[in-house]
Amino acid sequence: MVICIIALIVFSVLGIFSMRWRKLAKEAFDCVFRPCVTKLDQRIKSKLTAKLMKRTPALARFTYKNFKVLSWIFTIAFFASLFYSAYGIFNLITYGSCEPGSPTCGISQTIYVISCYETQIVYGIIAILFMVFLYFGYKYLKFKE
Amino acid sequence: MLDAEKIREDFPLLRESKIIYFDNACTTQKPKQVVDAIVEYYTKYTACAGRSIHKLATKTTEEFEKAREKIARFINAKKSKEIVWTKNTTEAINLVVNSLKFERGEKVITTNLEHSSGLFPWLQLAKKEIVNLDFVLCNKEGEFNIKDFEDKIDEKTKLISIIFASNVTGTISPLKEIIKIAHENGALVLADGAQAVPHLPVDVKKLDVDFLAFSGHKMCGPTGIGCLYGKEDLLKELSPFILGGETVKDADLRSFELEDIPHRLEGGIQNYAGAIGFGVAVDYLTKIGMKNIEDYEKELAKLLIEGLLKIPNLTLIGPKDWRKKNALTSFNVKGIEPQDLAILLDEENIAVRSGMHCAYPFHKFINEKKGSVRASLYFYNTKEEIEIFIEKLRQIVKTLG
């Protein structure tokens, strides 16, 4: 169910532009508020596992077995990211810098939507995903043997 | 001998896609002949049957009644008027439940293996205190002990309502013996034939069954059409619960005279295209031969069950002996939820069913509260498809189980 919160927000935003996403947003809404009506979270879990199984079975297994924990991590990261983005944008509009007082945090007006904090979080997630990918890539090779 | 590869040429979906369709207990694929017959009705002679007298209506009436005769022949009914058109098996069962006359306090016996369609209508009737409901319980493998029926039946028993072939375990009920016990005690038998009639040669005369309900869409026919077989004298006793067009011979403001059977039980405009398509489906099955279908499906069942039993952490629901089953089985894998397994198989283009399969009491009885995965086969499935299915399932279980 936790993953549906992200799905609800993301699909709601995308739903502004397309009917297809609106349907999914409705399903995500049901998943959050009426969990017995839909199995969206289960479908996300199984579809994700199925895609991963074709590339890295070990990662698929890890994802399947720890889906709840991963859902929580991604949800918390998502909201932290949202908060810091909003904070950065607020600073940018008010003070002209995403982190006033920090000389290293000059940000171009053209990419103002990404705050310093956001950038740091994104770099962090990319690094973690890269390490996870390396680890499971290695395990996959062993699995194939 | 049945040539599945050749047969598949008649099924547009099977011919044109790479899907392995193992959800035949839910509904089957339709051969081109059935689709053509439906299209022909809608494009060449659309009209009402049994009312108007113009050419189109006459043709519709002829085809509609011809379809009824085909169904009657298919199950070896004495007369075509013993076939009543319904929407599906559910409606056929509900027709008996709501039209048969019960004296207050009379007993109906049913089982814990029933599909929702064979249970809920009786529960409703029992709730209204019209009948007393009693149950014979099968064992954990879905098999009945015939003695339990002997013990439960008494002089108050009006009817035994029983599933002919289970849609969860694939087991076949000992219908002939149950009918014998029922008739010796003056009771009637209503059999839910949804999973039996499409797969076995069924002879209602030999069985001596009183009512038999089944659907067209589970035997290559269109959806929305099914029928109730009933012995002529029993159908005449039914008090129709849907009255309207074509159900009466004559009427005035205060009274009406009922039409003969089966029309008195078929209120309003019928599903003509569906019935005609169902007739063609029955022709198609007859041409292949029900005995051939049964034998071929036994071969498939052997391969399927033996393959499944080799997969670690897999629990088979129902008997492990393929001889005791239709080409249908449900199963669970430790550590993987049934819905997940169905989605994972779907990603591999294998269509199976997951969930309760409309058999909540049985799943609770065997303590499978999240339901199960069900693979159900039909005569157009091939041994190669089973091998692919087993291999893909084995891979999933090895990775996630």
What's the confidence (pLDDT) of residue B138?
97
Q: In residues, how long is chain B?
A: 401
Strands (E), B34-94: 83-86
Q: Which residues pair with B23 in a beta bridge?
A: B376
Q: Nearest CA of chain A to the CA of B114: how many Å? A: 24
On whether residue B267 sits in a domain, the answer given is yes
On whether residue B131 sits in a domain, the answer given is yes
Domain identity same for B13 and B57: no
Give the tokens for residue B235. 């159908």
> Of B243, B263, B287, which closes a domain?
B287
Number of domains comprising chain B: 2
For chain A, the residues whose C-beta falls within 8 A of a C-beta of chain B are 39, 42-43, 45-47, 49-51, 53, 57, 60-61, 64-65
Q: How many CA atoms lie within 13 A of B99 on its CB side?
A: 24
**Interface size, chain A vs chain B, as Cβ–Cβ contacts under 8 Å:** 36
Is B343 close to A57, i.e. CB distance below 8 A? no
Domain identity same for B348 and B372: yes
Domain identity same for B241 and B148: yes
Q: Is B352 on the interface with A (CB under 8 A)?
A: no
Q: Which residues of A touch B347 (CB under 8 A)?
A: 46-47, 50-51
Domain identity same for B207 and B340: no
* CATH number for the domain harbouring residue B159: 3.40.640.10
- pLDDT above 80 (res A145): no
Provide the pLDDT confidence category of residue A116 given band limits of 50, 70 and 90: low
Domain identity same for B13 and B46: no
On whether residue B366 sits in a domain, the answer given is yes
- Return the active site residues of B: 358
Residue B206 burial class via C-beta count within 10 angstroms: exposed 0-12, middle 13-18, buried 19 and up: exposed
For the whole model, what pTM was predicted? 0.86
On whether residue B141 sits in a domain, the answer given is yes
On whether residue B27 sits in a domain, the answer given is no
State ipTM: 0.70
Angle of helix B116-127 relative to helix B89-99, nearest 10 degrees, comes to 20
Domain identity same for B191 and B119: yes
Domain identity same for B79 and B227: yes
> Of B238, B269, B287, which closes a domain?
B287
> Of B255, B287, B319, which closes a domain?
B287
DSSP state of B159: E
At A137, which helix (H) or strand (E)?
Answer: helix A116-144
The domain in which residue B9 lies consists of 4-22+289-400
Q: What is the pLDDT along chain B (401 residues), one digit of tens a residue?
A: 789 999 999 999 999 899 999 999 999 999 999 999 999 999 999 999 988 899 999 999 999 999 999 999 999 999 999 999 999 999 999 999 999 999 988 999 999 999 999 999 999 999 999 999 999 999 999 999 999 999 999 999 999 999 999 999 999 999 999 999 999 999 999 999 999 999 999 999 999 999 999 999 999 999 999 999 999 999 999 999 899 988 999 999 999 999 999 999 999 999 999 999 999 999 999 999 999 999 999 999 999 999 999 999 999 999 999 999 999 999 999 999 999 999 999 999 999 999 999 999 999 999 998 899 999 999 999 999 999 999 999 999 999 97
Domain identity same for B363 and B273: no
Q: Please answer whether residues B268 and B245 qualify as being in contact, where contact means their C-beta atoms are separated by less than 8 angstroms.
A: yes
**Smallest CA–CA distance from A65 into chain B, residue:** B400
- Count of CB atoms within 10 A of residue B151's CB? 9
Domain residue ranges in chain A: 1-38, 44-144
Q: Which residue has the tokens 């050749």?
A: B6
What's the confidence (pLDDT) of residue A142?
59
Residue type, B362: F
What's the confidence (pLDDT) of residue B93?
98
Q: Nearest CA of chain B to the CA of A34: how many Å? A: 18
Domain identity same for B67 and B10: no
Domain identity same for B174 and B117: yes
Round to whole Å and give the CA distance between B318 and B166.
Answer: 10
Helix (H, G, I), strand (E, B) or coil at B21: strand
Round to whole Å and give the CA distance between B221 and B28.
Answer: 8
Give the tokens for residue B232. 């002529």
On whether residue B28 sits in a domain, the answer given is no
What's the confidence (pLDDT) of residue B401?
76
For residue A53, give the nearest of B337, B339, B399 by CB distance.
Answer: B399
* CATH number for the domain harbouring residue B331: 3.90.1150.10
CA B317 to chain centre: 20
Q: Which residue has the tokens 């040429």?
A: B9
What's the confidence (pLDDT) of residue B208?
98
Domain identity same for B280 and B376: no
- Count of CB atoms within 10 A of residue B319's CB? 19
Is B396 close to A53, i.e. CB distance below 8 A? yes
Round to whole Å and give the CA distance between A88 and A75.
Answer: 20
* Tens of pLDDT, residues A18-62: 888 888 888 888 888 876 666 788 888 888 899 898 888 899 999
What's the confidence (pLDDT) of residue A25?
85
- pLDDT above 50 (res A110): no
Q: Which residues of B touch A50 (CB under 8 A)?
A: 343-344, 347-348
- pLDDT above 50 (res A99): yes
Residue B112 burial class via C-beta count within 10 angstroms: exposed 0-12, middle 13-18, buried 19 and up: middle
Provide the pLDDT confidence category of residue A75 given band limits of 50, 70 and 90: confident
On whether residue B121 sits in a domain, the answer given is yes
Domain identity same for B216 and B324: no
On whether residue B315 sits in a domain, the answer given is yes
- pLDDT above 90 (res A111): no
